[in-house]
Homo-oligomer: A and B are copies of this chain.
Protein backbone atom coordinates (compact mmCIF):
# COMPACT_ATOMS: atom_id res chain seq x y z
CA UNK A 1 0.00 0.00 0.00
CA UNK A 2 1.35 3.40 -0.94
CA UNK A 3 2.78 5.44 1.93
CA UNK A 4 1.00 8.75 1.52
CA UNK A 5 0.69 10.06 5.05
CA UNK A 6 2.53 10.79 8.25
CA UNK A 7 1.32 11.32 11.78
CA UNK A 8 2.67 13.86 14.26
CA UNK A 9 2.24 13.46 18.01
CA UNK A 10 3.00 16.36 20.34
CA UNK A 11 3.40 14.89 23.78
CA UNK A 12 2.91 17.67 26.31
CA UNK A 13 2.66 17.73 30.07
CA UNK A 14 -1.09 18.33 30.05
CA UNK A 15 -2.30 17.19 26.63
CA UNK A 16 -1.46 15.05 23.64
CA UNK A 17 -2.03 16.65 20.25
CA UNK A 18 -1.98 14.35 17.25
CA UNK A 19 -2.50 15.06 13.57
CA UNK A 20 -2.54 13.14 10.33
CA UNK A 21 -1.02 14.89 7.34
CA UNK A 22 -0.11 14.15 3.77
CA UNK A 23 3.53 14.17 2.68
CA UNK A 24 3.34 17.90 2.01
CA UNK A 25 2.36 18.57 5.61
CA UNK A 26 -1.28 19.36 4.92
CA UNK A 27 -3.19 18.35 8.02
CA UNK A 28 -6.23 16.21 7.30
CA UNK A 29 -7.34 15.40 10.81
CA UNK A 30 -6.44 16.36 14.35
CA UNK A 31 -7.02 14.73 17.68
CA UNK A 32 -6.48 15.97 21.20
CA UNK A 33 -6.70 14.32 24.62
CA UNK A 34 -5.87 15.56 28.05
CA UNK A 35 -3.29 13.48 29.84
CA UNK A 36 -5.26 13.77 33.06
CA UNK A 37 -4.02 13.26 36.57
CA UNK A 38 -2.87 9.68 36.25
CA UNK A 39 0.48 10.14 34.60
CA UNK A 40 2.25 6.85 34.21
CA UNK A 41 3.70 4.97 31.30
CA UNK A 42 0.67 2.81 30.57
CA UNK A 43 -1.79 5.70 30.69
CA UNK A 44 0.36 7.90 28.45
CA UNK A 45 1.02 5.12 25.93
CA UNK A 46 -2.65 4.17 25.82
CA UNK A 47 -3.66 7.78 25.20
CA UNK A 48 -1.08 8.21 22.45
CA UNK A 49 -2.52 5.15 20.72
CA UNK A 50 -6.08 6.46 21.18
CA UNK A 51 -5.24 9.73 19.42
CA UNK A 52 -3.53 7.87 16.59
CA UNK A 53 -6.47 5.51 16.16
CA UNK A 54 -8.83 8.45 16.16
CA UNK A 55 -7.16 10.32 13.28
CA UNK A 56 -6.86 7.07 11.36
CA UNK A 57 -10.47 6.03 11.83
CA UNK A 58 -11.98 9.41 11.14
CA UNK A 59 -10.13 9.78 7.84
CA UNK A 60 -10.54 6.16 6.79
CA UNK A 61 -6.82 6.05 6.11
CA UNK A 62 -5.20 2.68 6.67
CA UNK A 63 -2.29 2.67 9.11
CA UNK A 64 -0.34 0.85 6.40
CA UNK A 65 -0.52 4.06 4.37
CA UNK A 66 1.31 5.94 7.12
CA UNK A 67 5.04 6.23 6.38
CA UNK A 68 5.99 7.18 9.93
CA UNK A 69 4.95 8.71 13.20
CA UNK A 70 6.89 11.70 14.52
CA UNK A 71 6.77 12.06 18.27
CA UNK A 72 7.80 15.34 19.88
CA UNK A 73 8.65 14.84 23.52
CA UNK A 74 10.38 16.77 26.30
CA UNK A 75 13.93 15.49 26.79
CA UNK A 76 16.37 14.04 27.67
CA UNK A 77 16.02 11.35 25.02
CA UNK A 78 17.97 8.75 23.12
CA UNK A 79 16.58 9.39 19.69
CA UNK A 80 17.93 6.40 17.80
CA UNK A 81 16.91 3.98 20.52
CA UNK A 82 13.55 5.65 21.06
CA UNK A 83 14.28 6.01 24.73
CA UNK A 84 12.65 8.69 26.87
CA UNK A 85 15.09 9.03 29.77
CA UNK A 86 12.94 11.32 31.83
CA UNK A 87 10.03 13.74 31.45
CA UNK A 88 9.31 15.69 34.62
CA UNK A 89 5.63 16.36 33.79
CA UNK A 90 4.67 12.91 32.61
CA UNK A 91 6.46 10.53 34.96
CA UNK A 92 8.08 8.73 32.07
CA UNK A 93 11.42 7.33 33.15
CA UNK A 94 13.51 5.22 30.81
CA UNK A 95 10.55 4.34 28.64
CA UNK A 96 11.35 2.93 25.21
CA UNK A 97 8.55 4.47 23.22
CA UNK A 98 9.46 2.62 20.03
CA UNK A 99 8.94 -0.65 21.86
CA UNK A 100 5.72 0.57 23.49
CA UNK A 101 4.28 1.53 20.11
CA UNK A 102 5.72 -1.40 18.17
CA UNK A 103 2.30 -3.02 17.68
CA UNK A 104 1.43 -0.14 15.34
CA UNK A 105 3.97 -1.58 12.87
CA UNK A 106 4.89 1.92 11.77
CA UNK A 107 8.28 3.62 12.07
CA UNK A 108 8.42 5.89 15.12
CA UNK A 109 10.65 8.96 14.96
CA UNK A 110 11.28 10.37 18.40
CA UNK A 111 12.42 13.99 18.61
CA UNK A 112 13.02 16.47 21.38
CA UNK A 113 10.07 18.89 21.47
CA UNK A 114 12.14 22.04 20.95
CA UNK A 115 13.97 20.41 18.04
CA UNK A 116 10.64 19.31 16.57
CA UNK A 117 9.40 22.90 16.82
CA UNK A 118 12.56 24.06 15.02
CA UNK A 119 11.88 21.53 12.25
CA UNK A 120 8.25 22.62 12.09
CA UNK A 121 9.24 26.24 11.52
CA UNK A 122 11.92 25.20 9.03
CA UNK A 123 9.59 23.03 6.95
CA UNK A 124 6.36 24.99 7.20
CA UNK A 125 6.93 28.31 8.96
CA UNK A 126 9.36 31.20 9.24
CA UNK A 127 12.40 29.00 8.70
CA UNK A 128 11.61 27.92 5.15
CA UNK A 129 14.76 27.82 3.03
CA UNK A 130 17.18 28.45 5.90
CA UNK A 131 20.04 25.95 6.00
CA UNK A 132 21.62 27.31 9.19
CA UNK A 133 18.91 28.41 11.55
CA UNK A 134 18.42 28.84 15.25
CA UNK A 135 14.93 28.42 16.61
CA UNK A 136 14.43 30.06 19.96
CA UNK A 137 11.28 29.84 22.01
CA UNK A 138 10.91 32.29 24.87
CA UNK A 139 8.03 31.71 27.24
CA UNK A 140 8.25 30.30 30.77
CA UNK A 141 11.78 29.25 29.86
CA UNK A 142 14.06 29.60 26.86
CA UNK A 143 14.39 26.59 24.62
CA UNK A 144 15.77 26.10 21.20
CA UNK A 145 16.77 23.94 18.32
CA UNK A 146 19.78 24.37 16.08
CA UNK A 147 19.55 23.51 12.41
CA UNK A 148 22.91 23.10 10.75
CA UNK A 149 23.40 22.38 7.07
CA UNK A 150 19.66 21.69 6.83
CA UNK A 151 19.38 19.17 9.67
CA UNK A 152 18.78 19.31 13.40
CA UNK A 153 22.06 19.11 15.25
CA UNK A 154 21.62 16.59 18.04
CA UNK A 155 25.07 16.47 19.60
CA UNK A 156 26.82 13.54 21.18
CA UNK A 157 23.97 12.29 23.37
CA UNK A 158 20.97 14.04 21.79
CA UNK A 159 21.31 16.90 24.25
CA UNK A 160 22.51 19.77 22.04
CA UNK A 161 20.63 23.03 21.74
CA UNK A 162 20.21 23.89 25.41
CA UNK A 163 20.73 27.50 24.45
CA UNK A 164 18.60 28.75 27.34
CA UNK A 165 21.26 27.51 29.71
CA UNK A 166 24.13 29.58 28.42
CA UNK A 167 25.37 31.63 31.33
CA UNK A 168 24.29 35.16 30.50
CA UNK A 169 25.62 36.85 33.61
CA UNK A 170 28.16 34.96 35.75
CA UNK A 171 27.61 37.36 38.66
CA UNK A 172 23.83 36.95 38.73
CA UNK A 173 22.23 35.53 41.88
CA UNK A 174 19.11 34.47 39.99
CA UNK A 175 18.93 30.71 40.19
CA UNK A 176 17.78 28.78 37.15
CA UNK A 177 15.70 25.61 37.20
CA UNK A 178 18.77 23.75 35.92
CA UNK A 179 20.72 24.59 39.08
CA UNK A 180 23.02 27.17 37.51
CA UNK A 181 22.88 30.88 38.31
CA UNK A 182 22.43 33.60 35.71
CA UNK A 183 21.32 31.40 32.79
CA UNK A 184 19.85 33.17 29.77
CA UNK A 185 16.54 31.48 30.63
CA UNK A 186 16.64 32.77 34.20
CA UNK A 187 17.23 36.36 33.07
CA UNK A 188 15.46 36.82 29.73
CA UNK A 189 12.40 34.52 29.69
CA UNK A 190 8.76 35.37 30.29
CA UNK A 191 9.33 34.27 33.87
CA UNK A 192 12.13 36.83 34.17
CA UNK A 193 9.83 39.53 32.76
CA UNK A 194 7.18 38.53 35.25
CA UNK A 195 9.70 38.76 38.07
CA UNK A 196 10.82 42.23 36.95
CA UNK A 197 7.16 43.34 36.84
CA UNK A 198 6.47 42.02 40.30
CA UNK A 199 9.60 43.71 41.63
CA UNK A 200 8.45 47.02 40.13
CA UNK A 201 5.15 46.76 41.98
CA UNK A 202 6.86 45.81 45.22
CA UNK A 203 9.06 48.89 44.80
CA UNK A 204 5.81 50.86 44.41
CA UNK A 205 6.79 52.22 41.05
CA UNK A 206 4.15 54.27 39.30
CA UNK A 207 2.97 51.93 36.59
CA UNK A 208 -0.16 50.82 34.84
CA UNK A 209 0.81 47.22 35.61
CA UNK A 210 -0.74 47.88 39.03
CA UNK A 211 -4.15 48.51 37.45
CA UNK A 212 -4.06 45.31 35.42
CA UNK A 213 -3.89 42.89 38.35
CA UNK A 214 -5.48 42.36 41.74
CA UNK A 215 -2.47 40.69 43.30
CA UNK A 216 1.23 41.19 42.62
CA UNK A 217 1.53 37.46 42.02
CA UNK A 218 -0.75 37.83 38.98
CA UNK A 219 1.87 39.86 37.12
CA UNK A 220 3.13 37.65 34.34
CA UNK A 221 5.06 38.50 31.20
CA UNK A 222 1.88 39.10 29.22
CA UNK A 223 0.67 41.69 31.74
CA UNK A 224 3.92 43.63 31.53
CA UNK A 225 3.79 43.43 27.73
CA UNK A 226 0.20 44.69 27.78
CA UNK A 227 1.17 47.72 29.87
CA UNK A 228 4.17 48.35 27.60
CA UNK A 229 1.94 48.21 24.52
CA UNK A 230 -0.05 51.02 26.14
CA UNK A 231 3.19 52.99 26.49
CA UNK A 232 3.52 52.64 30.22
CA UNK A 233 7.06 53.86 30.86
CA UNK A 234 7.97 51.46 33.63
CA UNK A 235 6.75 48.51 31.58
CA UNK A 236 8.59 49.76 28.50
CA UNK A 237 11.78 49.96 30.53
CA UNK A 238 11.29 46.37 31.70
CA UNK A 239 10.74 45.24 28.11
CA UNK A 240 13.96 47.02 27.20
CA UNK A 241 15.82 45.16 29.91
CA UNK A 242 14.55 41.83 28.59
CA UNK A 243 15.29 42.88 25.00
CA UNK A 244 18.86 43.75 25.91
CA UNK A 245 19.33 40.39 27.61
CA UNK A 246 17.78 38.59 24.64
CA UNK A 247 20.04 40.55 22.29
CA UNK A 248 23.14 39.72 24.32
CA UNK A 249 22.45 35.99 24.12
CA UNK A 250 21.51 36.19 20.45
CA UNK A 251 24.73 38.08 19.68
CA UNK A 252 26.73 35.24 21.23
CA UNK A 253 24.80 32.67 19.19
CA UNK A 254 25.38 34.69 16.02
CA UNK A 255 29.13 34.80 16.73
CA UNK A 256 29.19 31.07 17.39
CA UNK A 257 26.87 29.81 14.62
CA UNK A 258 26.87 32.44 11.85
CA UNK A 259 23.22 31.55 11.09
CA UNK A 260 21.24 33.01 8.21
CA UNK A 261 18.07 33.12 10.25
CA UNK A 262 16.83 33.16 13.81
CA UNK A 263 13.20 32.18 14.27
CA UNK A 264 11.79 33.61 17.47
CA UNK A 265 8.80 31.82 19.00
CA UNK A 266 7.05 31.38 22.33
CA UNK A 267 4.74 33.74 24.20
CA UNK A 268 7.29 36.54 24.52
CA UNK A 269 7.68 36.66 20.73
CA UNK A 270 4.14 38.08 20.54
CA UNK A 271 5.75 41.29 21.79
CA UNK A 272 8.45 41.31 19.11
CA UNK A 273 7.51 44.81 17.93
CA UNK A 274 8.23 46.13 21.43
CA UNK A 275 11.52 44.24 21.68
CA UNK A 276 12.91 44.43 18.18
CA UNK A 277 14.76 47.77 18.28
CA UNK A 278 16.63 47.07 21.49
CA UNK A 279 17.38 43.48 20.49
CA UNK A 280 19.00 44.67 17.26
CA UNK A 281 20.80 47.57 18.96
CA UNK A 282 22.36 45.05 21.33
CA UNK A 283 23.27 42.60 18.56
CA UNK A 284 24.91 45.38 16.58
CA UNK A 285 26.97 46.36 19.62
CA UNK A 286 27.96 42.82 20.58
CA UNK A 287 28.06 40.60 17.48
CA UNK A 288 30.71 40.81 14.79
CA UNK A 289 29.50 43.09 12.00
CA UNK A 290 30.22 40.61 9.23
CA UNK A 291 28.05 38.01 10.98
CA UNK A 292 25.27 40.32 12.23
CA UNK A 293 24.64 41.54 8.71
CA UNK A 294 24.09 38.01 7.43
CA UNK A 295 21.27 37.12 9.83
CA UNK A 296 17.61 38.00 9.99
CA UNK A 297 15.34 37.50 12.98
CA UNK A 298 11.77 36.53 12.16
CA UNK A 299 8.91 35.81 14.57
CA UNK A 300 7.72 32.22 14.43
CA UNK A 301 4.66 31.52 12.31
CA UNK A 302 3.13 28.37 13.66
CA UNK A 303 1.97 29.59 17.08
CA UNK A 304 0.38 26.93 19.26
CA UNK A 305 0.45 24.55 16.29
CA UNK A 306 4.23 24.36 16.38
CA UNK A 307 4.37 21.20 18.51
CA UNK A 308 2.22 18.97 16.35
CA UNK A 309 3.41 20.48 13.05
CA UNK A 310 6.96 20.00 14.35
CA UNK A 311 6.24 16.33 15.05
CA UNK A 312 4.96 15.97 11.48
CA UNK A 313 8.13 17.69 10.20
CA UNK A 314 10.27 15.34 12.31
CA UNK A 315 8.63 12.39 10.57
CA UNK A 316 8.98 13.97 7.13
CA UNK A 317 12.64 14.83 7.80
CA UNK A 318 13.36 11.12 8.27
CA UNK A 319 11.19 9.86 5.45
CA UNK A 320 12.29 12.32 2.79
CA UNK A 321 15.98 12.18 3.65
Contacts and interface: CB of A to CB of B under 8 A. Distances in A.
A256 interface: yes
9 contacts: A155-B291, A156-B260, A157-B258, A159-B291, A161-B258, A165-B255, A167-B251, A169-B169, A252-B252
A186 B285 CA distance: 15
A160 interface: yes
Contact of A180 (B159, B179, B286): B286
Give the copy number: 2
Interface in A274-321: 285-288, 290-291, 294-295
A179 B284 CA distance: 10
B168 A255 contact: no
A148 B290 CA distance: 22
A186 to B, nearest CB: 12
A175 B277 CA distance: 23
A107 interface: no
Nearest to A134: B256
Given A156-B295, A166-B252, A167-B168, 17 more contacts: A76-B290, A85-B290, A149-B153, A157-B291, A161-B256, A161-B258, A162-B256, A162-B291, A163-B256, A165-B252, A168-B170, A170-B248, A179-B285, A180-B251, A180-B285, A180-B286, A253-B256
Contacts of A149: 153
B171 A169 contact: yes
A113 B286 CA distance: 23
Contacts of A168: 167, 170
Given A168-B170, A288-B162, A288-B165, A156 B255 contact: no
A179 B283 CA distance: 12
A69 to B, nearest CB: 25
A189 interface: no
Contacts of A248: 167, 170
Given A169-B169, A251-B167, A256 B291 contact: no
Nearest to A170: B248
